[in-house]
Amino acid sequence: MKRIIRPFLALAALLLAVGLTGCADGLTGVDEAPGPVQSRQQGKLRHAHLLDRAVRPAPATTGFDKDGTALQTEATTDSTVGLIIGTAEGIDPYKLFRRYKLFRRYEYEQVFDGLAGDVERARLDSVLEAMQLDPDILWIEPDAGVDDGAYLLEVLAGNAQGTPWGHERIGALDAPEVRDVDLFLLDTGTYTDDLNVTEQLAFTETASPADLEGHGYHLAGLMAAIDDGDGIVGVAPSAPVRSLKVLNESGTSTVADVVAALEYLVGQKQANPNRPMVANLSFGLDLGTPAYNALDLAVEAAIGTGVVVVAAAGNDGVDAATISPAHVPEVITVGAYDPNDQFAAFSNYGPVVDILAPGVDILSLATDALGRPALAVMSGTSMAAAYVSGAVAQFLQANPHASPAQVHDAVTHSGLATVLGVPSGTTNRTVYLGRMDNSGSGSQEATGTGLAGVAVPPFFQYAVTSGGTIWIGDQVTAAAPAGTRRNASVFANGKIDLYGRGSHIEGFGYYSRKMRVTDAEEAIFQPRYNPTELPSLQQVDELDVPALPMSDLRRKATRITEGDLVLSGHYELGTQENPLIWYVSGQLHTDGPVSFSGYGILLVEKHATFYHDVATTEATDASTLALYTGGQVTFNGPVSLAAQLFVDDHVTFWTPGAKIRGSITATGDVTLDRVTIEYRPASPALTEPIWGTSSTDAAAYTSSEAPADTTSPSGSRGKKK
């Protein structure tokens, strides 16, 4: 049965007229009152030109306060304007709902501090004027709409399993099942036929989480349809699909709804930090400017917790630099091409497009007019984004500890340069699953690498990670920087032994070996970020804590010391762009106080013992020193290091008052007593040269070329700068 909703050329004209983006993803607004919204105040008001597109009918309810009472005594018959408001940290959003008599929609505390609410159109100017002077409010923006904008070419009857043409182009014809990666679909919802759907929630006024429009089900099939003889086979067959419905049966919604779904998603990642998660966002909003909006901030927050976000570039045939969330650099932004390998005429383009994927005449799951399973053909960058989301799920199945930045790098550097007719400044590479795999194999056309078999350590996520037991004595504190939502969690493959008093951990305590937890012990752990109110101490599956092959890292060194290294005095290291990489084939110990300036990586084959004061002197919040050892690390003197430690043995602090501004990872036990850990995520400058997240080997010395401080096999002193 052929069902043409609209011709493509007519659709394209319509999209350009109303500014849609995404899988034509764009702006919608319901404006029943005559005339435009006149308020164009600046100051705290961002994206004021979108106010007209944040007008909607009067809400059905005024919303309720925390105690269950109505926020307003009467509903309104006037149309309203949706606002998203960013607040100072710690501000009660209900206070602002009451102060400005807003119709409550959402409160946010994970992706950013803020709220979403509607104000009567007649009061908009006075409310905005008052908000400009309110110290509790940091910024205000219109709650403009988003639209999936997809168009359906044809619905096909029958249940025979089909294969979309794009599978062959991206190397996914024989893709294995994916069971251990969650695919979050933020779209119109989905049906469950031919899918492994594990969750369905609605963040729209439509209570049903089912797909009443067709867009979401189509994308879910491309990503993860089961290989069972009917429907189609997805790029990541059988992957768990978690559907967060943010678009209604008309394919429209508001930024506030999407941000609410991202708030939930961030909570899920925080509650399950070791579970790889991918979010597919096949919609968007043309802001008319590269400046960020609330959706961009929420997407950044999701990526910051470890979620990989894939977004459609949009279907307007314009530069995607102003499209939210496609223009967020950390997002994997996807353009489209057709079966002839030609860049799709409708696809947005430009430098923010990271990769291309099939997006024209794409076959996937649908239902017919009677609700029976069927197949349908659709076109758009939405479909291209779904292809990439499936490929990312395959990659994360093999590399579950990869960070979003590493996945981004693997996707962009493994693409095949086969797409023709791309606009100037736009990539011509298609995602290719065969070059993203763990073997690192592929055509010599590749300009970079994926992870190439490297097991990425988990210190991106935890303040302390131990392959054994974490011993927490007296007055141990761990926290992320003030003003952030990041947890400073600890993870032990064995137990967390809380034998002291006065400790405070602003994060979760994860452990693998069964242990009895008392209320007093649980009270030590106070996560900053716990939207689902999980227990602060949790038993979880073990985490793979890999051992570094220290001798293999010798070739990366820019300085080599044969035998033991004795340190004393001040040492100047490298720059953030070019850190010193210092390899020691024996042990390291001190013969006096030691300080470091600049950025450096110490690779110590055996034990490292600091008998004296040791400190870094750079005035920066980021880690400036990385210490990687093949043996245990012991601190016997005062410590003040902006450092990330990765130790293939035990770590012990014996002197009270030690401070680490970074993270600690050890394959053995970690003993903490009167230690302060100011948790910082791993610094890319100190991580990439070791863990190989991009092609850096060419700049590294081989072992025979690296300049050595000395060839003496024992007791050599490092050269001071």
How many C-beta atoms surround the C-beta of residue 693 within 10 A?
26
How many C-beta atoms surround the C-beta of residue 407 within 10 A?
25
Is residue 9's pLDDT more than 80?
A: no
Q: Which two tokens stand for residue 239?
A: 């992957």
- CA quadruple 276, 363, 20, 242: dihedral positive or negative? negative
User: How much is the pLDDT for 289?
Assistant: 94
90 forms beta bridges with none
What are φ and ψ of residue 480, in 5° steps?
Answer: -80, 170
Among 149-153, 230-234, 648-652, name the one with the lowest average pLDDT. Answer: 149-153
How many C-beta atoms surround the C-beta of residue 97 within 10 A?
24
Cα 394 to chain centroid, rounded: 17
Same domain? 381 vs 277: yes
Same domain? 133 vs 156: no
Calculate the alpha carbon distances from 312 to 38, 115, 205 in Å.
32, 26, 24
Whether residue 354 is contained in a domain is answered as yes
**Closest Cα partner for 167 from 236, 218, 217?**
236
How far apart are the C-alpha atoms of 177 and 197, rounded to whole Å?
A: 14
Tell me the CATH number at 139: 3.30.70.80
Same domain? 105 vs 211: no
Q: What is the mean pLDDT of residues 476-497?
A: 88
Same domain? 139 vs 151: no
- Radius of gyration of the chain from its Cα atoms, rounded to whole angstroms: 27
For 644-687, the pLDDT digits (tens) are: 999 999 999 988 999 999 999 999 999 999 999 999 877 777 87
Same domain? 220 vs 271: yes
Q: What is the mean pLDDT of residues 211-224?
A: 94
Q: Which two tokens stand for residue 472?
A: 């927490």
Query: Which of 382, 389, 489, 536 is an active site residue?
Result: 382
Is residue 69's pLDDT more than 70?
A: no
- Please, how many CA atoms are within 13 Å of residue 580, restricted to the half-sphere of its CB? 21
Q: Quickly list H helices, 40-188.
A: 93-99, 124-132, 166-169
Same domain? 431 vs 324: yes
Q: Give the pLDDT band of residue 57 (cuts 50, 70, 90).
A: confident
Whether residue 133 is contained in a domain is answered as yes
Q: Give the pLDDT band of residue 150 (cuts 50, 70, 90).
A: low
Question: Helix axis angle, 255-271 relative to 294-304, nearest 10°?
Answer: 10
Same domain? 116 vs 129: yes
Name residues whose C-beta falls within 8 Å of residue 52's C-beta, 6 or more positions apart in sequence.
29, 31, 36, 37
Please tell me the total count of domains within the chain: 3
Query: Which of 52, 167, 182, 215 is an active site residue?
Result: 215
538 forms beta bridges with 510
User: How much is the pLDDT for 16?
Assistant: 30
For 421-443, the pLDDT digits (tens) are: 999 999 999 999 877 754 333 33
- What percentage of the chain carries pLDDT values higher than 90? 62
- CA quadruple 226, 230, 231, 235: dihedral positive or negative? positive
Whether residue 497 is contained in a domain is answered as no
What are φ and ψ of residue 397, in 5° steps?
Answer: -60, -40
Q: Which two tokens stand for residue 225?
A: 């349809």
* Pairing, β 537-539 against β 675-678: unpaired
Same domain? 248 vs 329: yes
Q: Give the pLDDT band of residue 458 (cuts 50, 70, 90).
A: low
Among 47-56, 105-114, 687-696, name the one with the lowest average pLDDT. Answer: 687-696
DSSP collapsed to 3 states, 574-612: ECCCCCEEEEECCCEEEEEEEEEECEEEEEECCCEEECC
Residue in the structure block whose two tokens are 């350590």: 457
User: How much is the pLDDT for 118?
Assistant: 96
**Closest Cα partner for 654 from 485, 465, 474?**
474
How far apart are the C-alpha atoms of 404 and 487, rounded to whole Å?
A: 18
Whether residue 21 is contained in a domain is answered as no
The domain boundary, picked from 382, 405, 435, lies at 435
Whether residue 695 is contained in a domain is answered as yes
The domain boundary, picked from 392, 409, 435, lies at 435
User: How much is the pLDDT for 46?
Assistant: 96
H or E element that contains 648:
none
For 507-521, the pLDDT digits (tens) are: 999 998 878 878 888
Q: What is the DSSP letter of 507?
A: S
Residue in the structure block whose two tokens are 């509650």: 271
Whether residue 663 is contained in a domain is answered as no
Question: Which carries the bigger pLDDT value, residue 58 or residue 77?
Answer: 58
How many C-beta atoms surround the C-beta of residue 507 within 10 A?
29
704 by Cβ neighbours in 10 Å (0-12 / 13-18 / 19+) ranks as exposed
Residue in the structure block whose two tokens are 């997240």: 693
Q: What is the DSSP letter of 649?
A: S
User: How much is the pLDDT for 66?
Assistant: 55
The domain boundary, picked from 128, 143, 158, lies at 143
How many C-beta atoms surround the C-beta of residue 530 within 10 A?
18
- Per the annotation, the verdict on 187 as an active-site residue is yes
Same domain? 412 vs 299: yes
Whether residue 194 is contained in a domain is answered as yes
Residues 241, 195: contact at Cβ < 8 Å? yes
Q: Which two tokens stand for residue 188?
A: 């119109």
What b/e readout covers 247-263, taking b as 16+ CB neighbours within 10 angstroms? bbbebbbbbbbbbbbbb
Residues 590, 602: contact at Cβ < 8 Å? no
How far apart are the C-alpha atoms of 193 and 373, rounded to whole Å?
A: 7
Question: Which carries the bigger pLDDT value, residue 85 or residue 147?
Answer: 85
- Per the annotation, the verdict on 215 as an active-site residue is yes
Same domain? 185 vs 37: no
What is the span of the domain harbouring residue 590? 550-637+683-717
How far apart are the C-alpha atoms of 663 and 643, rounded to whole Å?
A: 7
Same domain? 310 vs 383: yes
Same domain? 162 vs 134: no
For 80-91, the pLDDT digits (tens) are: 999 999 999 999
The segment with the largest mean pLDDT, out of 142-146, 230-234, 354-358, 712-716, is 354-358
How far apart are the C-alpha atoms of 421 and 404, rounded to whole Å?
A: 29
Residue in the structure block whose two tokens are 């991206």: 170
Tell me the CATH number at 375: 3.40.50.200
Whether residue 372 is contained in a domain is answered as yes
Query: Which of 182, 187, 194, 649 is an active site residue?
Result: 187
Question: Which carries the bigger pLDDT value, residue 550 or residue 469?
Answer: 469
